[in-house]
A and B are shown apart, each in its own frame.
Chain A
């Protein structure tokens, strides 16, 4: 869904605009959140009420025009646009996204019931992605041009270019069907989590890997590294304590960005392939059955997740980067 570019690499030179206090960051974040959330709601409302016709999807197919008009007024759909939108905002505030026609219960219930499953998979996928990305990126970035670098770089290119669900199917055939190490699909034992998490981790680890490699490589060619090496600092400590620490903010921002991108869409086809009982199968089935309330509720919830993850990443990045101030505005020169 989101197609914006990944965040810029290392904050080598801190731009003046980012030199703000924590309180300032919080306030700015809150403002952005409200704006984005409002836009999400507008899109959901417009698609549901203007592009689609809730009456037509709710009424039985052989309803007469008269019955349709009656239903339209009973559902309040003959009121002015702004009144309807305010009513919709009120419903959203009460977390009422309407009744699901398919499941015949509140749409929000259907979504919240499986939300945790999606979050569990996303977190597991994030751990896998971070492992692949950070370990691979550090190995490749600190040994540029070696075979390790070539293998890791090739893997990361594959990760960012092939279709995730295809990787998933391939892993099922190899590890579940031929090697019989893990179950193919569903979530009946904890080992069911392995394959989808690895698929998700592979899909998102590639970009993390590329960013980490670039940052580590940039650090390792700086003069202080040469100086430290000449003073006899062991290479391993140099990488771990200096290069990696200095690129920490970038790594956290990239990992967080990938986490948000999972909820932005990539996790759902993987859930479908692995029959993971999360939002993906729920949304695709609901869409197939023209059950707009569930789709709308799911879009709203994933929208909120993306916003929250982005905000948290921003805050963590702020706290980690000492150049951005550690807490009070007074410490930071303007």
Chain B
């Protein structure tokens, strides 16, 4: 890990450094299996009672590692804790639409939503269950108690977090008796530690480091890189300009050079073919700078224009390099793009500025992570009122509305397919790549990483050193 978690309260944070610990200490009502299908976990089954009410049957006989029972009271309290507007959490996108949970009987809870919420099961794969003791201010620091297969045995600040097998675990005992998460700030040092066998797994190898690791595990991530437009900016208002900018970027070469082949162009939608709402008729924009110039001329920008492209420093693998690359390609068709780099906080604040305000960004590089595997994940970026949205297109709004108001899967798929077709004609972003996660592992570690970026150590084993 390159940085130390701020807290091990799983409901508060969602960064990788904490999840590598909390994913193994805490559990959720539902999980995705290896094929990304949603399956029961701490819940044994669930049922939708009406449009806004669901009930969940809880697994019997589960206890937290401090001995307190995991029952309806704890489960309902967990959900009410994370949806409380006064509770600060990085996981707000998983709680949108959930109103409250209540106890039905000892093994059943009911969850109410403020409208039809077809993605509730997906949301519940990201809401960890915590004990009633989580109301203590020590929770996540000195007090880390979950139902999962591992317990935190030591937290040596600045060095490492040690975890040991939870002998009272309700499920099958994991193969590894324990593991240690070490803090190594420098990625080159982390690679060295992997090469010497001091560590067995390193997250986020750079593409050029992949060849130096004893073994790499690569997973096609549910992360899609893009450059968002502010469609309210005068230069970008005309869809022809935005289509031209999509045509101006050679995504194949970007994937081959900057990412060393560890990424592929996405099909102009932030989904893979397996995800709900994928439109097979929509294809990636080809690389066609001549057509881009023609479109720009038609839109009245034969001489191009000046524009800024904003990118955060050190947040996304090769993000700054990608921004430089795209700026160069835009310059080749006459758009004089300059790259502006920000630290993460500044960049995040920039994303919240409404598109119509004077200090809004024009172009912004980012990754859209779709761990719901559902087109609905993107809504806040593309609807007229969306919190991060810089576009307002009635066709898109209507499709999103329709998809979010129905539980009929075929109707949702059809609506989202209409949405992507419209977002192709009227692009909200330059569609770039589907990213890969590159994990460096020791030769002895046997582990299949997952596209939803969870780290279940219980699924790992150590073979003989090859």
Q: Which residues of A contact B (CB under 8 A)?
A: 60-61, 102-105, 110, 113-114, 117, 169, 172-173, 176-177, 180, 183-187, 272-275, 277-278, 281-282, 284-285, 288-290
Contacts and interface: CB of A to CB of B under 8 A. Distances in A.
A275 B141 contact: no
A196 to B, nearest CB: 11
A177 B195 contact: yes
> Shortest 3 CB-CB distances between A and B: which pairs?
A277-B158, A275-B184, A184-B192
B352 interface: yes
Contacts of A272: 185-186
30 contacts: A102-B6, A103-B6, A104-B7, A104-B141, A105-B141, A110-B157, A113-B157, A114-B157, A117-B158, A169-B188, A173-B192, A176-B196, A177-B192, A177-B196, A183-B193, A184-B189, A184-B196, A185-B192, A185-B198, A186-B160, A186-B184, A186-B193, A273-B189, A274-B189, A277-B183, A278-B158, A281-B158, A282-B158, A285-B4, A288-B344
Contacts of B186: 169, 185, 272-273, 275
B185 A284 contact: yes
B193 A184 contact: yes
Contacts of A288: 3, 343-344
A292 B182 CA distance: 24
B159 interface: yes
Chain B interface bracket (under 10, 10 to 19, 20 to 34, 35 or more): 20 to 34
Interface of B: 3-4, 6-7, 88, 141, 156-160, 182-186, 188-190, 192-193, 195-196, 198, 343-345, 348-349, 352
Contact of A275 (B185, B195, B348): B185
Nearest to B314: A288
Contacts, number: 83
B159 A277 contact: yes
Given A113-B157, A277-B158, 12 more contacts: A61-B348, A104-B6, A113-B158, A176-B196, A177-B195, A177-B196, A184-B189, A185-B186, A185-B190, A275-B185, A282-B158, A284-B185
Given A169-B189, A272-B186, A275-B185, A60 B157 contact: no
Contacts of A277: 156-159, 183
A114 B185 CA distance: 16
A285 B6 CA distance: 10
Contact of A185 (B189, B343, B345): B189
Contacts of B193: 183-186
A5 B3 CA distance: 35
B192 A186 contact: no
Nearest to A278: B158
A281 B183 contact: yes
B208 to A, nearest CB: 15
Contacts of A186: 159-160, 182, 184, 193, 198
